[in-house]
């Protein structure tokens, strides 16, 4: 009996969640919903009526009350947005709208859930590092991102540091593979792989910064420390505090004297920190970028722009008719490259293989291909590249980065990686026996 009722409740809750997800931008916790639902039932309210009441309740609350939102939950085209956040960067700019010159502010704000760009149409008095409470702002979608807009009607108030830091940003444990742009309050245990000191000029004050490479069992990342924690290569450390900035998807951890850095004696946790990790392509595409990883996949396309090319001798840009857009008339340098699309069935990345890699893979054949190819017609060599590379499996090691065209790997090492049929059949057969 109870089971039947439980099943029914679950299916009602599923229905309500479906409706709420369509009608409201604010996620509703399943547990909370279930608790409310059961309370109504305990009071003997019929289920259908309970359902209607709860839908009303949850959709209404998101429309009228301006409760504080997290940046991660922002959607395009919301109004009356309430945020508690830190100003990560702020810049001034003059723009002309409808023939009128206006000073605006733009920059990045962040809270414990993430960061976003903002534009302020009024010169609010805010500085980098301020913790502010924003009320009655609105959002717009821009190139896959949500951007927050502060208008004349928006209120921005400086508030105490503690409201954001102490209550909300309890550092959370992360692994390097989970580091994403804008995360703050990082708790990370890593091995220092490389470290370099350099001097920089901040507002005319000379400061030492320490930057380098850190690694854990999931990957590698760059770091920058604005404080001397006496770190040495090989140290295993736990960093608490700090935030993540990315460049084309490659993560960099940034921290300063406000972070706690503890040297650990148990170094087993990061034993394989220096190793190159293999990453499935769906994960790489989702991470957007990564340092020193290995991927495996099948070449499913030889792309436009492959074959014999001519480069500008000064800037190495690919040029046509010995004419460089920057350097004018030049004597072009012939080169060879192949642009491939590598796909492992879960995701795909592009990679441009230089002559060096092509020769490594195919040896003397490359010279032969080239001598059979006319300078103005690539079809012979493209055909050979197809025969030798298309539908073949490759392993590529290198750094991955993303831009608006997708994720690409900058290859450091490339090799053919065919399946050994007999071995694969054997292991698959075994696994199937377990399944069957």
User: What residue ranges bind another protein (CB under 8 A)?
Assistant: 10, 14, 144, 280-283, 285-286, 298, 300-301, 343-348, 386, 390-393, 402-406, 418-419, 421-422, 424-425, 428-429, 431-432, 435-436
Contacts of 231 (CB under 8 A, 6+ apart): 192, 195, 210, 225, 237, 261
In terms of Cβ atoms closer than 10 Å to its own Cβ (0-12, 13-18, 19+), residue 430 is exposed
Nearer to another protein, 95 or 425 (CB): 425
Nearer to another protein, 137 or 409 (CB): 409
Q: Could you tell me if 400 and 415 are in contact, meaning their C-beta atoms sit under 8 angstroms apart?
A: no
Q: Which helix (H) or strand (E) holds 269?
A: none
Find the DSSP H helices in 169-292: 281-287
Could you tell me the CA-to-CA distances from 63 to 29, 57, 139, 426 in Å, in that order?
A: 17, 10, 15, 59
Shortest distance (Å) from residue 106 CB to another protein = 21
In terms of Cβ atoms closer than 10 Å to its own Cβ (0-12, 13-18, 19+), residue 205 is exposed
Nearer to another protein, 192 or 299 (CB): 299
Shortest distance (Å) from residue 246 CB to another protein = 13
Tokens of 411: 């290859």
Nearer to another protein, 56 or 365 (CB): 365
Nearer to another protein, 310 or 382 (CB): 382
Shortest distance (Å) from residue 218 CB to another protein = 12
Shortest distance (Å) from residue 140 CB to another protein = 17
Nearer to another protein, 13 or 237 (CB): 13
Shortest distance (Å) from residue 261 CB to another protein = 29
Shortest distance (Å) from residue 406 CB to another protein = 6
Q: Which helix (H) or strand (E) holds 203?
A: none
Shortest distance (Å) from residue 346 CB to another protein = 4
- d(CA 37, CA 50) in angstroms, rounded, equals 7
Q: What angle do CA 217, 219, 220 make, to 5 degrees?
A: 120
Around Cβ 4, how many Cβ atoms within 10 Å?
8
Q: How many residues appear in the chain?
A: 436
Nearer to another protein, 113 or 402 (CB): 402
């Amino acid at each position: 009996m109870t089971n039947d009722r439980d099943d029914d409740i679950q299916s009602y809750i599923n229905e309500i969640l479906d409706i709420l997800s369509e009608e409201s931008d604010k996620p509703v916790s399943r547990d909370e919903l279930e608790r409310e639902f059961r309370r109504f039932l305990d009071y003997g309210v019929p289920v259908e009526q309970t359902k209607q009441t709860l839908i009303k309740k949850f959709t209404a609350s998101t429309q009228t009350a301006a409760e504080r939102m997290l940046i991660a939950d922002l959607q395009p085209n919301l109004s009356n947005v309430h945020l508690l956040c830190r100003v990560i960067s702020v810049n001034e700019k003059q723009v002309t709208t409808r023939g009128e010159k206006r000073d605006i502010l733009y920059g990045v704000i962040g809270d414990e859930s993430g960061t976003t760009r903002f534009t302020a149409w009024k010169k609010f008095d805010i500085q980098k590092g301020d913790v502010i409470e924003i009320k009655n702002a609105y959002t717009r979608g821009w190139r896959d991102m949500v951007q927050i807009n502060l208008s004349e009607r928006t209120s921005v108030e400086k508030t105490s540091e503690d409201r954001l830091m102490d209550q909300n940003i309890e550092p959370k444990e992360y692994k390097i593979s989970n580091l994403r742009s804008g995360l703050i309050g990082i708790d990370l245990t890593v091995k220092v792989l490389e470290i370099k000191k350099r001097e920089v000029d901040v507002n005319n004050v000379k400061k030492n910064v320490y930057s380098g490479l850190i690694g854990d069992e999931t990957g590698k990342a760059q770091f920058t420390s604005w404080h001397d924690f006496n770190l040495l290569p090989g140290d295993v450390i736990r960093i608490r505090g700090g935030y993540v900035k990315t460049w084309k998807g490659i993560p960099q951890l940034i921290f300063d004297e406000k972070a706690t850095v503890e040297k650990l004696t148990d170094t087993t946790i990061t034993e394989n920190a220096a190793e190159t990790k293999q990453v499935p392509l769906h994960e790489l595409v989702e991470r957007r970028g990564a340092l020193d990883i290995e991927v495996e996949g099948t070449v499913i396309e030889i792309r436009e722009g492959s074959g014999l090319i001519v480069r500008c001798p000064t800037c190495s840009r690919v040029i046509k008719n010995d004419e460089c857009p920057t350097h004018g008339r030049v004597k072009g340098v012939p080169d060879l490259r192949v642009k491939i699309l590598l796909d492992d069935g879960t995701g795909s990345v592009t990679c441009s293989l230089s002559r060096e890699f092509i020769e490594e893979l195919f040896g003397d054949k490359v010279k032969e291909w080239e001598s059979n190819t006319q300078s103005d017609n690539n079809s012979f060599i493209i055909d050979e590249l197809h025969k030798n590379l298309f539908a073949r499996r490759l392993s590529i090691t290198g750094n991955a980065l993303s831009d608006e065209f997708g994720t690409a790997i900058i290859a450091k090492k490339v090799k053919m990686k065919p399946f050994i049929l007999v071995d694969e059949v054997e292991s698959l057969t075994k696994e199937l026996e377990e399944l069957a």
